[in-house]
Amino acid sequence: MSSPVYGRARSLLACNMAFRTAGNKNCITTWLKPTFVSKRRLILPSQNTSMPAKNYCQRPAQKGLLFRQMFEPISSTYTYLLADCETREAVLIDPVLEEVERDAKLVNELGLRLLYAANTHCHADHITGTGLLKKVVPGCRSVISKDSGAKADITIQEGDSIKFGRFHLEARATPGHTDGCMTFVLNDHSLAFTGDALLIRGCGRTDFQQGSATRLYKSVHEKIFTLPEWCIVYPAHDYRGMTVSTVDEERRLNPRLTKSLEEFVSIMSNLNLPKPTHIDTAVPANMVCGIQGD
């Protein structure tokens, strides 16, 4: 195949692969240069052409930032590792109990000093790995929102920062899925870790754990959709094989959050989802986040 459409599609695929694998074996020093992707639009036969296509995978990340995305298949949870390549200080977001050995091994292999294991909220579908991580990784401290009501070494609020080396994650309160939901935003606003508040083409449910569709809608529109359109969005979960999105994509394409508030509330009120399988064990354990067994 050598058509112009195929050629441009192949370029975009290469862009995505480079975005996910750039850097040396120990740290990402740069992702991509802005000139990597052609500015011409790629129009496929089934594509809605009413909105301009934007290719944000070419935007460079902060120099010297190590970044890894990991997956736990039972709860479809993403765990994220970020570190300063110079100081080797690191933070882990949303670790899962069953994957603590994997995470600790990676931290050790990369020669990192894990300062914090932070949860975006009190999860209902899995038990956090922060408690066990504190035992197997010396110096690691657990972090969660104060509004969650959960225990941790450090509880944070809107505007607080989680610092690691020259970088920091800004805490933005995004309640609605739960009272204590936090979105963590990298200091240059290039990355946002949205927990369950904003998923890829979806959002967290609002029918338990202090859920409120109205609050969630306002949280996403006021705290996440106000970020730069090129900001890369990383959720806590995905159930369809998607790994990453952008603020621009979700503003335009999210089938729930592009609706009016009234329509969104109606959608969320009629999902009729089953009760999470592990909620009765996961929530009590996560309410003592990071200090289980101490």
Distance CA 255, CA 212 (A): 18
SS3 assignment, position 196: coil
* Buried b / exposed e along 141-158 (16+ C-beta atoms within 10 A): bbbbbbbbebbbbebbee
Question: Across all residues in the chain, what is the average pLDDT?
Answer: 84
Contact 223, 215 (CB under 8 A): no
Q: Could you give the residue ranges of the DSSP H alpha helices within 79-174?
A: 100-109, 130-136
What is residue 43's predicted lDDT score, i.e. its pLDDT?
A: 33
The distance from CA 74 to its chain's CA centroid, rounded to whole angstroms, is: 18
Residue 143 has pLDDT above 50, yes or no: yes
Residue 67 vs residues 21, 109, 117, 180: alpha-carbon distances, Å: 10, 14, 15, 25
What is residue 61's predicted lDDT score, i.e. its pLDDT?
A: 58
Residue 60 has pLDDT above 80, yes or no: no
What is residue 50's predicted lDDT score, i.e. its pLDDT?
A: 41
Give the model confidence (pLDDT) of 90-133 as tens digits. 999 999 999 999 999 999 999 999 999 999 999 999 999 999 99
What is residue 157's predicted lDDT score, i.e. its pLDDT?
A: 97
0.85 surpassed by pTM: no
